[in-house]
Structure 1
Amino acid sequence: MGGRGRRSRTQRKHFKDGRENVWKRPRSDAQQQEDFNAKKHWEPFATQNPAFDDYYKEQGIVSLEEWDTFNKFLRRPLPAAFRINSSSQFCDDIRSQLENDFMKSLQAEDTDGNEVAAIKPLSWYPENLAWQSNFSRMQLRKNQILERFHEFLKLENEIGNITRQEAVSMVPPLFLDVRPDHFVLDMCAAPGSKTFQLLEMIYRSVEPGTLPSGMVIANDVDVQRCNLLIHQTKRMCTANLIVTNHEAQHFPSCRLKKNNTAKSETGGVKELAIDQLLFDRVLCDVPCSGDGTLRKAPDIWRKWNVGMGNSLHCLQVQIAMRGLSLLKVGGKMVYSTCSMNPVENEAVVAEILRKCGGSVELLDVSAELPNLIRRPGLKKWKVRDKGSWLASYEDVRKFRRQGIVPSMFPSGKHYNEESANDQEADLEVIPENGGESINGSYLMEDKTSSDNNCEEEISDLPLEYCMRIVPHDQDSGAFFIAVFQKLSPLPAIQKKTITPPELLTSNDRSEKSEDLGTEEDLMEIALTDVKEQSTEPFQDSDIADEQTAASTDTEANNISEETEPEDIPAPVSQETVPEVARGKRKLQLQGKWRGVDPVVFLNSDAIINGIKTFYGIKESFPFSGYLVTRNSDTNHVKRIYYVSDSVKDVLKLNFLGGEQLKITSIGLKMFERQTSKEGNNAAMFRISSEGLPLLLPHITKQVISAKEIDFNHLLQYKTIKFADFVDAEFGEKASKLLLGCCVVVLNKGCEIVHDPPHVNASTIAIGCWRGRTNVAVMVTAIDCQELLERLVPKTDKVNGSTPDGCKPPIADDAVTKVNGVDSEDIVTHTPDISG
């Protein structure tokens, strides 16, 4: 096969010109000009949709007096918004720069020519950490006056110091009340802005060199969107995150099997800190029609139709119920959508409350975030289907009952059999077009009016506790939020019968179903007969193991290796499992998920002890047992990841439970293999930029302090010889380090030099490589640029001079070799993920 490919390429070299395509007619000049004009005169998206206007006027989303204002705001570009990373080392600096620099220097004019603030903090977001600009994203890109501000946003967003995010999208995590010790599940997480926000809350008030006891699991059903999620959260540099790839409505309940629990009591398996994966907080931001994002996605105007919301209703109920089943008693769940449709919002919330009975409570959070303008949820609405308005399920025609379900209506009541029969009597078959049938079939026409005379339903549930955010209240997108608290285990589930429920009589229903007990008793039933599924679209955490395994096995077969994201360790290898943990389900050596390499706990004493000795890692730092990698062959390990206590426990639990979690990313990349011509095995693994902040307080070797001038030179010139450092003592200390990775810490002015340097929250450090004759920076170019922005005076950068007027120690365009590696490659090279 390879030989044929080579011959083809060799023969092809002899053709100087491509072969003529005799089947393709040449285009005339007139046709080419016509195509050019069509491309040149681009027309904006149409922002009119009569069906949209009719639907939301009837639903009463806003009053008729507000309709024109509401409509006007929907057609305005959405202001750009962003959030400062509260766990960032430079959080205070960035906030100060916004308040004292950009906020005062940038100005804008409103439509009346009055001067208004160009950027301002969102008054409802705590601590001035969220900001909004009066300019749209398009204006930020094209306006030269705003160029400096736009460059600032791009740089800080890439570094991870800020996150560009729609303002209303920041609201749901704020109502979860996340604390550092919480286990949090983000069920539909991509693209990851809310996940990043949850991680910030987990890391709140964490000291340097320590990790919070909580964690976040971020899940998404689409592999490509998982890539985006991983890229977004990678900027957080966290060891407390797991990214999974599952259908949210079938998210696995990871639990320790009863046989493993029994054996652990006899000493066969060390008992884990947790035996079942339940969560303190669940964010359920479900897939929706998205018409609340019309301001930033105007193409939705053309696509929007009533069926978009109707078709998603059942899936939204299933995802929300699955989230509640995985929630601990006493925990909170936020349900949210970026849709204005009550069928996707209040109808889903009402159905959740009906299914859960008194085990779940809808919380009134109107007193929280008092500056956030929000409106109460609706108590009444209608359902639109095939051009007809339906006030209750009784109005639904029989052949439409599969698409329109009772839970879409305010009361949630099933149809009455007698009234349905009466309605069918009002239907007669008539041919279309004055008596002619189409393809031998006739259309069903409702003799009753589309606006029937049934009394409008009003829900008796406290749906006013829900929150609706509409665009014209605070110049934002539209959003819907509901906050639940789980008071007790969810109620019993009924078995599903083969006969469709609508074809059974009331006697049949009582005979076919039986009470299966509370949520703690359901696991055994599910394991004995997985073919019988719940009539309810949810299963509590104990009963979904076998069904989830079947669905995820099928799902895994559809995923190719080419679509997997980069830098993603995944499920655990069998080599780490004791013999007693192997039951009926055989665990494969390469993990159960196709295309995803296993996560392996690194047990190589040679590598671990070599790293600890080389960097002088303190014994107080939890190290051995917290390192994972993607390859069980220690001779080919390229990356080593560090995991927190909570993630380690979940990883072990997942393995003993049969690897039900399909993990696409886990842990913090702490070490990377770095080869050198000297063959120094002790320096085989260098510290990664992501892992340096966590590890820095715990290393005692290969770390030195540099004065500001030499630190800035390293950032500017990337590679400096020992003799060229301004501080000769620093150059001498650097020359005495072992060949390999080292850490250079900034010594700020009058600080006393310690060996090793003292580390606190304000410490700035970079990873470097100590070569034979020089020190080279091993930090990405964008990180160097960001640090220089903060450390080097702007006048020096503008004039092209260096601090203190010293001569640059190396030319900008020079490329030197450091132990056989180009210094430019060290700065900018992104390693592959093979091995």
Structure 2
Amino acid sequence: MGGRGRSRTQRKHFRQSRENVWKRPKSDDSTNATPDDANSNRHPGWEPFATQNPSFDEYYKEQEIVSADEWDAFIEYLRTPLPAAFRINSSSQFYEDIRLQLENDFMKSLQAEDTDGNEVEAIKPLPWYPDNLAWQSNFSRNQLRKNQTLERFHEFLKLENEIGNITRQEAVSMVPPLFLDVRPDHFVLDMCAAPGSKTFQLLEMIYKLIEPGTLPSGMVIANDLDVQRCNLLIHQTKRMCTANLIVTNHEAQHFPSCHLRRNQSVDSQIGHIKEPNICQLQFDRVLCDVPCSGDGTLRKAPDIWRKWNAGNGNGLHGLQVQIAMRGIALLKVDGRMVYSTCSMNPVENEAVVAEVMRRCGGSIELVDVSTELPQLVRRPGLKKWKVRDKGMWLASYKDVPKYRRSVVTPGMFPSGNLDEETSEPDNETETRKNPENGDGNSESGIQLADGLVAPSNSLEAEVSALPLERCMRIVPHDQNSGAFFIAVLHKVSSCLLTRIPAPAAIEKKPRSPDKKYYSSSTRPQKQANEVKEDSDGNDIGLSGEKDVQISEVTPDADLLDTGTGEAPLDTVQNKINEENEKEENELPPDVKNDAKIVTGKRKLQIQGRWRGVDPVIFYKDDAVVEKIMDFYGIKESFPFKGHLITRNDDMNHVKRIYYVSNSVKEVLELNFLAGQQLKIASVGLKMFERQTSKEGTSTPCLFRISSEGLPLILPHITKQILYATAVDFKHLLQYKIIKFSDFVNPDVGEKASKLMLGCCVVFLKGQVLSDSSQDVTPIAIGCWRGRTNVAVMVTALDCQELLERVSMLLSTEDALQPEGDQSIPEAGEEGKENGSENLNVTA
């Protein structure tokens, strides 16, 4: 009911209903009006976004974000729409074809069709992005949608984006991953990952230079707090078709470390899960793109103009510091972290970096990357700035009134000094209003004790002693982009210092006499900016204790995170065993079933920890696995067994089987052993899917290869393979179902009839699969071999793209017989009876 002493706000609590500005007056009839009248009266309650804000101008002029003679150009760019930008995904099979099409087709055709007659490049590659893989258009997104001359280019972008060949992304948003220096063997954490464009970049980097059919030894964990944004992140990264990704749903400042103490006696197996090679989840690279006020995105989100105020940045500063500190704690020694925001506010940028460096006490350094990406125009970070709070300009912490010191902290200022000798005005003076501004929010300076207001230019800002000029700022008018801030941090040692005292240990609440379980409210709240490390670089608990998880039985099948100090693990284990046995006898039946306690010496809860989240379970049905391997002839050299997982704990009704790389497998094993601290929203590459057609139950293998998993497993299968000529391959894409007797090449139909009933893979003939390295990636699609026909199991979009690619490969008309000579009947009753009607052709 909203908590003690509060009630839910209802309509009756409003004395007057708010005006509906979207409702059109009944008297407004534009049917007989002139076009000009109709346009003026179309939305009488709507006005375009105002692209100005006096507070914004004053704030950034005072902060000297740009020089005075650049101010007009700076504001002019901020008030114009942002050009559309996109990136070619280097993981795409056809990325080179797309790049050539842009260079040889659209660059020339759009130049000729420029309706304004200007000799400017319509689209161009971003000069600072490697290999001409990032492009920017001089047209905004609105122009691309509405301009008929750009219709073909817009349709091209939409199709390639939906397929996954390109990613539409703001140009400056592409910059932070480029400074991470990611290699294929790196473990990478994207702390605030949604919507996923940067995560996609990180995945492409670990896949770079990897041979087809192989996986990198590194992996990416993409995290986001919001569940809906996690869904967007999953949708975005699904186009990558990767087995090296885990998507988690945590507060970034509380991201778990999954620490497993290996120096104590530990059972080697829990539920047939071997102890992994890693004992704590730490990362070689961390991307810390934190939540911010977002005023760097004014060009694409003009509604920020009216919402902007300096308090937005001040309110986010503390959270940003916590997230950055947690990122440093999870970073390996000699690792690199990039801190970035799409804000121009120094309180969210340089102030956060400076505070993190002070708290870390020399264990991190700010990297000078001025020589990297030399064609990217950037500006050095600020070394001095002021803080604006409640209309007051504050040059240092000693200027902060006592009643505002819970909001404005020392870390917001360049020096970060805490000056306790400052004489504080009395409460009456503190709350005195400015005569010219009745609400006390003076816009011209700091409020003095006598009620006067000092001019802002009389306040000399502090200058930071830290090398903050190594940070970089990107401003809109330098390269016609949005604004961004980036800092690259290098971890040189594992000794983290803390400036804030650790909280007192949280004692477990005594059990209530009428309760048979522990309350979930006893879980302590972690403070990410108070994490330390031991001499080995391992995470130490938030009150200076080792991070050891104790499994408590709770009504929501969750775990209680409790620090246990330096107690030996066997002591902790005995405690777990005793309490589990006691709880199991006392719990109500429904709670006991929900808890899913796993019996054994070390009774850790290995599934069902997170309510509403499907468990991650290693697929151990050896009979099914053997059938899959035999049916498709999967080579023994392919690491298959032990790499399959499912999200369904009922092994008899598994619909999808996912494949994970060796690195993800190790993280999952560590997560199980550590008590499932990771809340996993998505993991693995969907490799197999249970066939739901009538024929699916009669086939020797119930699982078909999914479109997502086909590129990975393609080089490792030796059975259920059919090679089709270009004409037959094209007809399959066009007609979706072809009978054996209707293939143009009789050999193709004959060989198709000899395949086993079930899933098969059809290759474009000439793209022969072999163990030797090839310059051309094979073109293949998943199909279903029915009793009398072959049916395509590819999405309509993929079919459309493949048709275009195959047509480009057919250099002469002789490669295809005339369309009139080919009689390809639609699937008749026979085809329907054989299951073509019931096939789920969207993998």
TM-score (normalised: structure 2): 0.81
Q: Structure 1 residues 309, 207: CA separation in 2 closer, same or farther (over 3 Å shift)?
A: same
Q: Distance in 2 between matches of 1:666 and 1:62?
A: 44
Q: 2:682 aligns with which of 662, 665, 670?
A: 665
DSSP 3-state at the match of 1:115: coil
Q: 1:810 aligns with which of 803, 808, 824?
A: 824
Once the two structures are superposed, the pairs formed by residues 421-570 of structure 1 within 5 Å of their partners are 421=424, 423-424=425-426, 427=429, 447=451, 449-451=453-455, 455-493=460-498, 496=501, 536-538=529-531, 541-543=539-541
Q: More displaced, 132-141 or 810-819?
A: 810-819
DSSP 3-state at the match of 2:645: strand
RMSD between aligned residues: 3.7
Q: 2:358 aligns with which of 333, 354, 363?
A: 354
Q: Structure 1 residues 271, 175: CA separation in 2 closer, same or farther (over 3 Å shift)?
A: same
The one-character-per-residue Cα deviations of 1:478-536 (angstroms, maximum 9, x if unpaired) are: 0000000000013344773779xxxxxxxxxxxx9xxxxxxxxxxxxxxxx99697695
Partner of 2:422 in structure 1? 419
Q: 1:683 Cα deviation (Å)? A: 2.6
DSSP 3-state at the match of 1:622: coil
Letter in 2 for 1:619: E
Q: 1:187 aligns with which of 186, 191, 211?
A: 191
Is the Cα–Cα contact under 8 Å of residues 259 and 548 in structure 2 kept in the other structure? no
Letter in 2 for 1:805: E
Partner of 1:196 in structure 2? 200
Q: Distance in 2 between matches of 1:266 and 1:690?
A: 31
Q: Distance in 2 between matches of 1:714 and 1:535?
A: 56
Partner of 1:617 in structure 2? 634
Q: 1:89 Cα deviation (Å)? A: 1.2
Q: 1:747 Cα deviation (Å)? A: 1.0
Partner of 2:348 in structure 1? 344
Is the Cα–Cα contact under 8 Å of residues 434 and 452 in structure 2 kept in the other structure? no
Q: 1:102 aligns with which of 93, 100, 106?
A: 106
Q: Structure 1 residues 80, 754: CA separation in 2 closer, same or farther (over 3 Å shift)?
A: closer
Q: 1:424 Cα deviation (Å)? A: 3.7
Q: 2:167 aligns with which of 157, 163, 168?
A: 163
Once the two structures are superposed, the pairs formed by residues 607-756 of structure 1 within 5 Å of their partners are 607-678=624-695, 679-748=697-766
Q: 1:280 Cα deviation (Å)? A: 0.1
Partner of 1:568 in structure 2? none
1:410 matched to 2:408? The reply is no
Q: 1:680 Cα deviation (Å)? A: 1.7
Q: Structure 1 residues 68, 369: CA separation in 2 closer, same or farther (over 3 Å shift)?
A: same
Q: Structure 1 residues 29, 717: CA separation in 2 closer, same or farther (over 3 Å shift)?
A: same
DSSP 3-state at the match of 1:368: coil
Partner of 2:591 in structure 1? none
Q: 1:402 Cα deviation (Å)? A: 1.1
Q: Distance in 2 between matches of 1:67 and 1:108?
A: 34
Partner of 1:378 in structure 2? 382
DSSP 3-state at the match of 1:704: strand
Q: 1:53 Cα deviation (Å)? A: 0.6
Q: Distance in 2 between matches of 1:824 and 1:32?
A: 52
Q: Distance in 2 between matches of 1:494 and 1:342?
A: 21
Q: More displaced, 115-124 or 99-108?
A: 99-108
Is the Cα–Cα contact under 8 Å of residues 721 and 762 in structure 2 kept in the other structure? yes
Is the Cα–Cα contact under 8 Å of residues 253 and 528 in structure 2 kept in the other structure? no
DSSP 3-state at the match of 1:216: strand
1:311 matched to 2:326? The reply is no
Q: 1:812 Cα deviation (Å)? A: 6.8
Letter in 2 for 1:251: F
Q: 1:427 Cα deviation (Å)? A: 2.1
Partner of 1:592 in structure 2? 609
DSSP 3-state at the match of 2:362: helix
Q: 1:112 Cα deviation (Å)? A: 8.9
Q: 2:224 aligns with which of 216, 220, 227?
A: 220
Letter in 2 for 1:612: M
Partner of 1:132 in structure 2? 136
Letter in 1 for 2:429: L
The one-character-per-residue Cα deviations of 1:531-586 (angstroms, maximum 9, x if unpaired) are: 697695555533258699999x99999xxxxxxxxxxxxxxx9999783442xxx4
DSSP 3-state at the match of 2:687: strand
Letter in 2 for 1:579: G
DSSP 3-state at the match of 1:53: helix
Letter in 2 for 1:661: L
Letter in 1 for 2:629: K
Number of residue pairs matched? 743
Q: Structure 1 residues 297, 387: CA separation in 2 closer, same or farther (over 3 Å shift)?
A: same
DSSP 3-state at the match of 2:69: helix
Can you give the 5+ residue segments of structure 1 that lack an aligned partner in the other structure? 1-26, 500-511, 513-528, 558-572, 831-835
- How high is the sequence identity, in percent, across the aligned residues? 65
Letter in 2 for 1:596: V
Q: 1:256 Cα deviation (Å)? A: 1.5
Q: Distance in 2 between matches of 1:65 and 1:424?
A: 42
Is the Cα–Cα contact under 8 Å of residues 737 and 826 in structure 2 kept in the other structure? no
Partner of 2:840 in structure 1? 826
Is the Cα–Cα contact under 8 Å of residues 495 and 532 in structure 1 kept in the other structure? no
Is the Cα–Cα contact under 8 Å of residues 187 and 283 in structure 1 kept in the other structure? yes
Partner of 2:786 in structure 1? 771
Can you give the 5+ residue segments of structure 2 that lack an aligned partner in the other structure? 1-22, 32-37, 441-446, 506-521, 534-538, 559-593
Is the Cα–Cα contact under 8 Å of residues 199 and 237 in structure 2 kept in the other structure? yes
The one-character-per-residue Cα deviations of 1:312-363 (angstroms, maximum 9, x if unpaired) are: 0000000000000000000000000000000000100110111112110000
1:780 matched to 2:795? The reply is yes
Is the Cα–Cα contact under 8 Å of residues 693 and 838 in structure 2 kept in the other structure? no
Q: Distance in 2 between matches of 1:429 and 1:372?
A: 47
Partner of 1:44 in structure 2? 48
Q: Structure 1 residues 494, 743: CA separation in 2 closer, same or farther (over 3 Å shift)?
A: same
Q: Structure 1 residues 387, 614: CA separation in 2 closer, same or farther (over 3 Å shift)?
A: same
Is the Cα–Cα contact under 8 Å of residues 275 and 673 in structure 2 kept in the other structure? no
Partner of 1:579 in structure 2? 600
Q: 1:48 Cα deviation (Å)? A: 1.3
Q: More displaced, 265-274 or 645-654?
A: 265-274
1:88 matched to 2:92? The reply is yes
Q: Distance in 2 between matches of 1:626 and 1:574?
A: 26
Once the two structures are superposed, the pairs formed by residues 257-336 of structure 1 within 5 Å of their partners are 257-258=261-262, 262-264=266-268, 270-336=274-340
Letter in 2 for 1:646: S
Q: Structure 1 residues 110, 102: CA separation in 2 closer, same or farther (over 3 Å shift)?
A: closer
Letter in 2 for 1:542: I
Q: 1:821 Cα deviation (Å)? A: 4.0
Q: 1:675 Cα deviation (Å)? A: 3.0
Letter in 1 for 2:89: N
Q: Distance in 1 between matches of 2:374 and 2:24?
A: 66
Letter in 1 for 2:140: S
Q: Distance in 2 between matches of 1:91 and 1:535?
A: 41
Q: Structure 1 residues 812, 197: CA separation in 2 closer, same or farther (over 3 Å shift)?
A: farther
Q: 1:257 Cα deviation (Å)? A: 3.7
Q: 1:807 Cα deviation (Å)? A: 3.7
1:55 matched to 2:59? The reply is yes
Q: Distance in 1 between matches of 2:526 and 2:749?
A: 71
Q: Structure 1 residues 817, 266: CA separation in 2 closer, same or farther (over 3 Å shift)?
A: closer
Q: 2:373 aligns with which of 354, 362, 369?
A: 369
Q: Distance in 2 between matches of 1:459 and 1:419?
A: 20
Q: Distance in 2 between matches of 1:633 and 1:531?
A: 33
Is the Cα–Cα contact under 8 Å of residues 173 and 283 in structure 1 kept in the other structure? yes
Whose helix proportion is higher, 1 or 2? 1
Partner of 2:5 in structure 1? none
